[in-house]
Amino acid sequence: MDIAARPACLALMLELGACSSCEERASTRPTSFDGEVLRIAVLRADGRTERFSSLRDEWYSWSWFPFMPNHSGRRWTMGKTDRDGVSLAYALVSWDNDDPTDYLSAGFWMRFDGARTTRRLNPADAEIVPFIDGPELDARHPPELPVSGTAAYAGSAGGVYRYRQPGAEPLAEELTATITLEADFAAGTVAGCIGCVGDIALEREHLYALLGWRRGDAVAGHPPTGYEIRFAPAAIGATGGFEGASVAVTHPDRAIVGSDGSWSGRFSSRPAGDGTPRLAAGHASAAFAEADGGEGSFDSIFTVLHPTLLPEPPRDDPRPGP
On whether the CB atoms of residues 230 and 244 are closer than 8 A, the answer is no
pLDDT at 25 over 50: no
Q: Once rounded to an integer, what is the mean pLDDT over residues 104-131?
A: 86
310 Cβ contact list (under 8 Å, min separation 6): 154
98 burial type by CB count under 10 A (0-12 exposed, 13-18 middle, 19+ buried): exposed
Cα 23 to Cα 187, 238, 239, 262, 266: the distances in Å are: 20, 9, 8, 16, 11
Best CA proximity match to 5, nearest among 298, 293, 286: 293
Q: Once rounded to an integer, what is the mean pLDDT over residues 284-310?
A: 93
Please give the model's pTM, rounded to 2 decimal places.
0.82
172 C-beta neighbours (distance < 10 Å), count: 26
Phi and psi angles of residue 13, each rounded to the nearest 5 degrees, phi first: -60, -40
**Beta strand 295-305 pairing with 150-164:** antiparallel
Picking from 19-33, 72-86, 213-227, 296-310, which range would have the lowest pLDDT averaged per residue? 19-33
pLDDT at 40 over 50: yes
Instruction: Return the HEC string of the chain.
Output: CCCCCCCHHHHHHHHHHHHCCCHHHCCCCCEEECCCCEEEEEECCCCCEEEEEHHHHEEEEEECCCCCCCEEEEEEEEEEEECCEEEEEEEEEEEECCEEEEEEEEEEEEEEECCCCCCCCCHHHCEEEEEEECHHHCCCCCCCCCCCCEEEEEEEEEEEEEEECCCCCCEEEEEEEEEEEEEECCCCEEEEEECCCCCCEECCCCCHHHHCCCCCHHHHCCCCCCCEEEEEEEEECCCCEEEECCEEEECCCCCEEEEEEEEEEEECCCECCCCCECEEEEEEEEEEEECCCCEEEEEEEEEEECHHHCCCCCCCCCCCCC
Query: Higher pLDDT residue, 243 or 117?
Result: 243
What is the per-residue pLDDT for 1? 34
Quote the CA–CA distance of 259 and 268 in Å, as a whole number.
30
What is the per-residue pLDDT for 39? 97
What is the per-residue pLDDT for 218? 53
Q: Taking all residues of the chain, what is their mean pLDDT, rounded to a whole number? A: 85
The arrangement of strands across the sheet holding 31-33 comes to 31-33, 38-43, 49-53
Highest mean pLDDT among 57-71, 176-190, 209-223, 299-313 belongs to 176-190
Cα 200 to Cα 25, 159, 230: the distances in Å are: 31, 11, 13
Position 319 confidence tier, pLDDT thresholds 50, 70, 90: very low
pLDDT at 317 over 70: no
Q: Once rounded to an integer, what is the mean pLDDT over residues 29-33?
A: 94
pLDDT at 19 over 70: no
Position 309 confidence tier, pLDDT thresholds 50, 70, 90: confident
**pLDDT tens, position by position, 239-255:** 999 999 999 999 999 99
Picking from 138-152, 283-297, 305-319, which range would have the lowest pLDDT averaged per residue? 305-319
Position 16 confidence tier, pLDDT thresholds 50, 70, 90: very low
On whether the CB atoms of residues 9 and 76 are closer than 8 A, the answer is no
What is the per-residue pLDDT for 129? 87
Structural domains in the chain?
8-309 (2.40.160.90)
pLDDT above 70 as % of the chain: 83
On whether the CB atoms of residues 55 and 32 are closer than 8 A, the answer is no
Picking from 40-44, 261-265, 310-314, which range would have the lowest pLDDT averaged per residue? 310-314
Cα 143 to Cα 130, 180, 185, 187, 302: the distances in Å are: 23, 20, 12, 17, 19
